[in-house]
């Protein structure tokens, strides 16, 4: 089917008035964040934005091995000292956040599971202001004030359905060399996001809380599918065909030796000392790549550096023809270039409009239309 650009624009302008964007009730309960962005954050995830290595923005986007963010200190310090004020550092110039300089990360595993996305990696995180030998800490959207650690920290992803969606539950463990991040993207009545991203086992370390098959240690950058683990601290037992779970709810102290050989003290459980997670899920369909790089000259990303425009190679995005009336933000450019097959987004909903993209349901399939710098692209579903 051939459509010229003008026809496509007109078609989308017409149909976007009744585009079938997902509503909150189309997502599993507890997956989407319902509150507002932290005050330091841009109103919606945005790519590109101008370099500002002094930024206090705290919005992570977790979209792919080439486009993700983590929290790290705003100035040179340990994680425990800065949990409430940490800022977003992104592999791409986005969200007004700081940019992770190329070469900082030496290996990353990016796992897609049915219930969460998990990113586990290592590198020289002193580049992100983490003090050498810092044993690190755990960050999550709860924190001592209920407003997140860091306060006003938020997480968004396009992975659920191609549109930026704010997520309610996530957890990040980070020290001066390693980080592991889980964002909870799905749920059912057995596994709710709060438990899948359970943030109270903060002394256990990545290999226990986020078990998986990871090849990043040798300097590999891989994207894989993986089975979901049981929620952290849950151990299944099957009796008469019924699965129930024992969990660790009270204090217990022990030492767990992770895959990196480092013993880690922890406090968890009430009767049994766990020495390993219930399972270590399999990965499959791994695709590796040589590295991840944004190509931005390191001189532009030194501490305190600021730019006046998006860096060369990242053209600015101007595509606003209808106001976005959804509470869920949509991205400026992270529109999928593959068709969306999910029934959860093609069900009828009240009329909504969207500034930059529209999912248009027509009888022969679903078109995803992206307006990027004035050019229109489409992919047949």
Ligand X SMILES: *[C@@H]1O[C@H](CO)[C@@H](O)[C@H](O)[C@H]1NC(C)=O
- Residues found near ligand X in the complex (CB under 6 A): 33-38, 124, 126-127, 141, 147-148, 154, 166, 188-191
Beta-sheet strand order (sheet of 137-139) = 137-139, 170-174, 178-184, 116-123, 105-112, 221-226, 283-289
Q: In the bound complex, what is the minimum distance in angstroms from residue 377's beta carbon to ligand X?
A: 27
Q: Which is nearer to ligand X, 229 or 376 (CB)?
A: 229
- Other C-beta atoms closer than 10 Å to the C-beta of 9 total 16
Q: Sort 373 into a burial class: Cβ within 10 Å, 0-12 / 13-18 / 19+.
A: exposed
Q: In the bound complex, what is the minimum distance in angstroms from residue 335's beta carbon to ligand X?
A: 19
Q: In the bound complex, what is the minimum distance in angstroms from residue 225's beta carbon to ligand X?
A: 14
As given in the structure block, the two tokens for residue 257 are 């030796």
The Cα–Cα gap between 42 and 143 comes to 21
State in Å, rounded, how far the first CA of the chain is from the last one.
11
Q: Which is nearer to ligand X, 11 or 90 (CB)?
A: 90
Report the residue number whose CB is nearest to ligand X: 35
* HSE-up of residue 112 (Cα within 13 Å, Cβ side): 15
Q: Which is nearer to ligand X, 34 or 275 (CB)?
A: 34
Q: Which is nearer to ligand X, 128 or 359 (CB)?
A: 128
The Cα–Cα gap between 271 and 69 comes to 38
Q: In the bound complex, what is the minimum distance in angstroms from residue 56's beta carbon to ligand X?
A: 15
The Cα–Cα gap between 64 and 358 comes to 21
Q: Which is nearer to ligand X, 44 or 359 (CB)?
A: 44
∠ Cα 247 199 233 (to 5°) = 20
Q: Which is nearer to ligand X, 8 or 210 (CB)?
A: 210
The Cα–Cα gap between 177 and 123 comes to 5
Q: In the bound complex, what is the minimum distance in angstroms from residue 146's beta carbon to ligand X?
A: 7
Q: Which is nearer to ligand X, 124 or 300 (CB)?
A: 124
Q: In the bound complex, what is the minimum distance in angstroms from residue 176's beta carbon to ligand X?
A: 9
Q: Which is nearer to ligand X, 285 or 308 (CB)?
A: 285
Q: In the bound complex, what is the minimum distance in angstroms from residue 107's beta carbon to ligand X?
A: 14
Q: In the bound complex, what is the minimum distance in angstroms from residue 20's beta carbon to ligand X?
A: 22
Q: In the bound complex, what is the minimum distance in angstroms from residue 61's beta carbon to ligand X?
A: 11
Q: Which is nearer to ligand X, 78 or 127 (CB)?
A: 127
Q: Is residue 356 a contact partner of residue 377, using CB atoms and an 8 Å limit?
A: no
Q: Is residue 250 a contact partner of residue 269, using CB atoms and an 8 Å limit?
A: yes
As given in the structure block, the two tokens for residue 314 are 């990242």
Q: In the bound complex, what is the minimum distance in angstroms from residue 258's beta carbon to ligand X?
A: 20
**Buried b vs exposed e over 12-32: b needs ≥16 C-beta within 10 Å?**
beebbeebbbbbeebbbebbb
Q: Which is nearer to ligand X, 189 or 271 (CB)?
A: 189
The Cα–Cα gap between 8 and 316 comes to 22
∠ Cα 81 83 87 (to 5°) = 115
């Amino acid at each position: 089917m051939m459509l010229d650009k003008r026809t496509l624009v007109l078609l989308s302008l017409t149909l976007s008035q009744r585009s079938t964007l997902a509503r909150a009730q189309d997502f599993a309960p507890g997956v989407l964040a319902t509150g507002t962005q932290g005050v330091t954050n841009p109103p919606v995830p945005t790519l590109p934005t101008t370099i500002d290595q002094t930024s206090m923005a705290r919005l992570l986007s977790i979209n792919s091995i080439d486009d993700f963010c983590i929290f790290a200190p705003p100035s040179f310090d340990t994680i425990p000292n800065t949990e409430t004020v940490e800022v977003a550092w992104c592999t791409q110039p986005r969200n007004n956040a700081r940019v992770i300089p190329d070469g900082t990360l030496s290996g990353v595993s990016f796992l897609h599971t049915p219930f969460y996305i998990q990113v586990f990696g290592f590198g020289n995180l002193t580049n992100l202001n983490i003090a050498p030998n810092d044993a690190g800490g755990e960050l999550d959207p709860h924190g001592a004030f209920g407003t997140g650690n860091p306060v006003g920290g938020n997480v968004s992803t396009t992975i659920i359905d191609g549109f930026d969606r704010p997520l309610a539950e996530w957890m990040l463990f980070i020290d001066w060399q390693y980080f592991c991040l889980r964002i909870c993207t799905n749920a059912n009545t057995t596994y709710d996001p709060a438990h899948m991203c359970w943030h109270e086992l903060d002394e256990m370390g990545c290999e226990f809380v986020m078990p998986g098959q990871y090849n990043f240690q040798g300097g590999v950058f891989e994207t894989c599918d993986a089975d979901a683990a049981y929620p952290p601290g849950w151990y299944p037992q099957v009796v008469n065909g019924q699965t129930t779970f024992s969990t660790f709810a009270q204090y217990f102290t022990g030492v767990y030796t992770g895959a990196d050989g480092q013993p880690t003290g922890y406090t968890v459980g009430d009767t049994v000392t766990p020495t390993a997670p219930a399972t270590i899920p399999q990965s499959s369909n791994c695709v590796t790549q040589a590295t991840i790089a944004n190509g931005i000259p390191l001189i532009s990303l030194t501490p305190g550096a600021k730019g006046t425009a998006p860096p060369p190679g990242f053209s600015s995005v101007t595509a606003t023809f209808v106001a976005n009336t959804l509470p869920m933000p949509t991205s400026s450019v992270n529109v999928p270039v593959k068709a969306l097959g999910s029934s959860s987004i093609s069900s009828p909903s009240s009329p909504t409009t969207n500034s930059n993209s529209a999912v248009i349901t027509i009888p022969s399939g679903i078109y995803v239309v992206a307006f990027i710098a004035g050019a229109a692209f489409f992919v047949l579903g």
